[in-house]
Structure 1
Amino acid sequence: MNQEDHKMLMAMQDLFEKLLSGKRCDAMDAAATAPEWQKLIGQANQLIQNLNEMNHLAIDLSEGMLKGPLPARDNYMSGPLKQLHSQLSVLTQSGKQLKEGYVVSKLESAGELYDMFNGLIDWVADASIRENKDASLEISAPVSSWRYHQILQALDLLHILVLEVDFSGHVVYSNRPAKQMLGDIEYIYFQQAQNNVLLTLIAELGKLDNFPVFREVYDDRNNTWYRIMSNRCLLTNGQVLYLYVIEDVSDWKTREHRLQQTASTDTMTGAYNREAGLKELEKTLLYSDATSCLAFIDIDGLKAINDTFGHDEGDYVIKNIAKVILNSIRSSDVVCRYGGDEFFIIFKKCMENTAEKIIVRMFSELKKLESTTSKPYALSFSHGILSFNSGSGYSTADLLQEADRRMYACKKCKKKERI
C-alpha cells in the first residue's frame, strides 16, 4: 500500500469512528484524491449528508417541532423518521380539528399515543350522540363531518393521491393530485377500470376483508410505479368508507434497482460479484428442470503478466477478457467474477455443445482484440464446462469443483501443446 492509499485509509477510518460515536462530520474533498478513491469518498459524503438530515429531523421531533425541513426524497435511511413525522403531523392536525369541534377519524397507527387519541375520539363521538338523542334531533342523512373527517385540507398540498370511496364504489372525496390524475371520476368499479391498472387495483382492494393493505403496482402505459395504502373505516352511523393513499414511487424503485445492481456487481468488470453469482447458481440448480451449463474460467498467464508488465496491464487483461465474455453470452446467461482471475458462466437452458460454441466465439473475439492492440502477451483463458439441472444431484460446491477440475485439465493440455 502506497503512502497516499494509507493516508486515505486512515482518513476513512477516522470518519467512520466519528460517525459511530455520533459526532458531526464534514464532507471529504474527493477532488485531490486518486480516481479509485473518489467513488468511495462520494458515497461516504452521501452517508454523512443522510445522517445529518436524520439527526436534524430526530432533534426536531424530540422537541415537538413538525415544521422544520425534511430529508431529501432520496434519503432512504430517513424513511421511518419521515413516516413518524407524517403520522405526528396527522395527529396534530386531527387534534386541532377536534379542538375546533369537528368529529375526526381514528388513527390506524399502533401505540399508546394513538390509542389515547382514538379513545378521546370515541368519548367525543359518544358525547355528541347522547346530546343529539337527548335533544330528540332527527338526523335524516349522515353528517358531512362524519363523511369527510379523515381527509384533511392539508392533503391537497401533498404529492400523494387520496381517494375516499364508499361501499358502492362511489368516490366521496378526492384530493387535488387525485383529481389532476384521474379527473372528476365518480365511481370505481371493475368494468370501468379494465384499462387502468391503478383503478383496477383500487377496485380489487375494496373487496378484501383484512385491512390495512399495502400494494405496489406498475403502470406500463406511464412507466410509473405506484404504492397504495388501503384502509377501511366504519363510522358511528354505520357507514363504511374506504381510504386509498397512492404515491408515485418510480424514483424510489429506480434507485432501489440501481442499489441492488451495485450490491451485486463487481466494480472492475461489470460481472456479478461472487456472492450474487453463487446465489444465481444455487437458484438455477434448485429450480430449473431444463439442462443448463456451468463454465469455469481461469485467465491464462495473468501472474506472469503482472510480474513482467505490472498490475495495470493485469487489470487491462481482466477487464477486456470480461468485456468479451459479457458481450458474447446470451441475455439469459449470467457471468460472475469468482476470484481475481477466475470467472464462471451460467448458460441457462443450454446444452454443452452450444455452450462450447459460445466459448469458441469468445476466443475468436479475443484474437481480434489482440490484433488491434498489439500487446506483448496473449489474451486467453482456460475453461471447463459441466451440464446440470435440478435433478442432477449436484450441490453448488460440487458443480464448481467439477467445472474447476475440467478447467485445469484444459489448462494442462494447453501447456503440453506448447512444449
Structure 2
Amino acid sequence: MDAESRKTLVAIQNMLEQLLSGQPADTIGFKTPMPELQKITEQLNQLSRNLDEMNNLAADLSEGWLDGTLPPRHNYMAGPLKQLHSQLSIFTWSLRQLQAGYVVGKLENTGELFAALNGIIDQAATLSTQETDDAASVNSWRYHQLLQTLDLLHIMILEVDNSGHVVYANRSAKEKLGDIQFITVEQAGNKVLELVAQNKEGNAFPVHREIYEESSNLWYRVTSDRFLFPNGHAFYFNTIEDITEWIVKEHQLKMSAEMDELTGVYNRKVGWEALEQILAHPEQAGTHCIAFIDIDGLKAINDRYGHSEGDYTIKSIASALLSTIRVSDDVCRYGGDEFFIIFKNCTEETAKSIMVRSDEQVKVLNIQAQKPYKLSFSYGIIPVTNFSESAAELLKRADHKMYLDKKRKRLNGNNTNPNNVNSP
C-alpha cells in the first residue's frame, strides 16, 4: 500500500473514532489517488456534517429553543428530528393561542404530550362556553372565535363608532387600506372610505351600495349596518367586498348573450328586439332604415374549400360591415350567411353610401387575402315608414329588395360562384 493510501486510512480511522465518541470530527481535506478511498472520504465528510447539524438541532430542542437553523433538505438523517421540531412548534403556537384566549383546534398528533394538550383545549372550551349567572361575564372563547373567523375572510371589515374612530379592522382591511385609526369624509382619501364615513343615524340600515374606485380600477360592494348599545352609543359595521371579477364576468355573460360568437356582431334576438323597440315608438323623430345582407356564394365556398373558409368568409363580411357603419348603427347576424343592419335616424341615401363603403372594403379584402374565391354580398335597403308593421314584415321587405339586387348581379354576369373563379 502506498503512503498516500495509508495516510487516508489513518485519517478515516481517526474520524470514525471521533464520531463514535460524540465529538466533532474534522473533515478530511486532502485527496487520495485511489478513487474508492476518495469516495469513502467524501461520504464520511458528508456524514460528519449531517451528524453535526443533527446534534445542533437536538441541543436546541433539549433546551426548548425552536428558532434555530434547521438541517437542509438533503440531510435525510435529520428527518425525525425536523418532524419533532414541527410538532413542537405547533404545540407551542397552540399554547400561546390558549394563553391569549383564542380558539384552538385539537391537535391530530398522537402521544402523551399532545393528548395532554388536547385535554387542556377541551377543558378551556367547556369553561369558556358554559352559562353563568354573572351578566357582566364575557364569553372570550366565542368572541375570539368570531374575530379569528373575520380575519380569515377575504372581504374587508371595518367597525366605526359615531366619531369615526375605527374600533375594529380585520386582516384584509389592514392589508388593503393600511392601519387606519380615524375616518372622516374629508380625510377618507378614496370613495370606499367616503361611503363608510357617510353612515348616519338617519339612514335606513342595512345599506347596500356599489362603487367604482377609479384610482385602483376596482368595483366594490359596501354593506353597512348600525348597532346600538343599551347606553345609546352607535357602532357602524361595514363589509367591503371587491366585486370587480364578478362585474367583469357579468358584463361578459351579458355580451355573450347578445353577441354572435363567430362574428362579434349582435345576434338575431338582440336585433329583433331592437327592431320591435323602434316600431313601438313611432313618435320618435327621424327616419330609420333597414339593410338586409346576404353573402354571395357561401354554400359553394363551403362545399369546395371547407367550412373553415366559409367561416372566414362570414367573419370577413361582418368585419367589413362593422368597420364602415356609424356608432349609432347596429349590425346583427340573422343566421347563416344573412345579416341585417339597423340604421337609426338615417336617410336611405346615407344608408346606401355606407353600404357602398362596405362593398369597397370587401374589395380591399379580396386584394389582400388573395383567396381562390371572391368575397361579395348583396343587399337591400328600405326606409322604416310604416310603424304598424311587425319586425318580421319589415325584414321580409328588406330581404325581398336584397333578392332583387342579387338577381340584378346575376343578369349582369357578375357570378360570384367560387367554382367559376380560377384557383391560383
On whether the aligned pair clears a TM of 0.5, the verdict is yes
Question: Which residue among 331, 337, 341 is the counterpart of 1:335?
Answer: 331
The offset of 1:361, in angstroms, is: 1.1
Residue 158 of structure 1 is matched in structure 2 by 153
1:4-403 equivalence runs, <5 A = 100=128, 152-193=147-188, 196-204=190-198, 206=200, 209-283=203-277, 289=284, 291=286, 292-388=288-384, 392-403=387-398
Q: Which runs of 5+ in 1 are unaligned?
A: 1-66, 68-95, 103-123, 133-142
> Structure 2: which 5+ runs fail to align?
1-104, 106-123, 415-424
| Alignment equivalent of 2:399, drawn from 401, 404, 407 | 404
Query: Separation in 2 of the partners of 1:97 and 1:214?
Result: 36
The alpha-carbon distance between structure 1 residues 315 and 256, as it changes in their structure 2 partners (threshold 3 A), is: same
1:363-391 CA-to-partner distances (Å, cap 9, x unmatched) read 111112222334444322122234459x9
What is the Cα deviation at residue 97 of structure 1?
Answer: 9.4
The AA in structure 2 aligned to 1:235 is F
Q: Distance in 2 between matches of 1:268 and 1:368?
A: 21
| Structure-2 change in CA distance of 1:196 and 1:276 (3 Å) | same
| TM-score of the two chains, using structure 1 as the length reference | 0.57
Give the total of aligned pairs.
Answer: 288
For the pair shown, which has the larger CA radius of gyration, 1 or 2? 2
TM-score when normalising by structure 2: 0.56
Secondary structure at the residue paired with 2:380? strand
Change (3 A) 1:150 1:409: farther
TM-superposed deviation, 1:214: 2.6
Instruction: Tell me the secondary structure at the aligned position of residue 401 of structure 1.
Output: helix
Moved more, 214-223 or 366-375: 366-375
Cα shift at 1:332:
4.3
Identify if the C-alpha distance between structure 1 residues 155 and 301 changes in structure 2 by more than 3 Å, giving closer, same or farther. same
State the shift of 1:244 in Å. Answer: 0.8
The alpha carbon displacement at 1:250 in A equals 1.6
- Contact 2:128 2:139 (C-alpha < 8 Å) held by counterparts: no
Mark the CA change 1:99 to 1:209 in structure 2 (over 3 Å): closer, same or farther.
Answer: farther
Name the SS for the 1:100 alignment partner. helix
Shift of 1:245: 0.6
Task: State the secondary structure of the residue aligned to 2:335.
Answer: coil
Name the CA shift for 1:173/1:284 in 2 (closer, same or farther; >3 Å). Answer: farther
Over 3 Å counting, the alpha-carbon distance change for 1:230 and 1:329 in structure 2 is: same
Runs of 4+ in 1 over 6 A off after TM superposition: 96-99, 148-151
Q: Which moved more, 1:268-277 or 1:245-254?
A: 268-277
| Contact 2:279/2:388, CA 8 A, preserved across alignment | no
Identity fraction in percent: 50
Q: CA 1:325 to 1:177, structure 2 compared with 1: closer, same or farther past 3 Å? A: same
Aligned-partner residue type, residue 156 of structure 1: D
Q: Distance in 2 between matches of 1:197 and 1:387?
A: 48
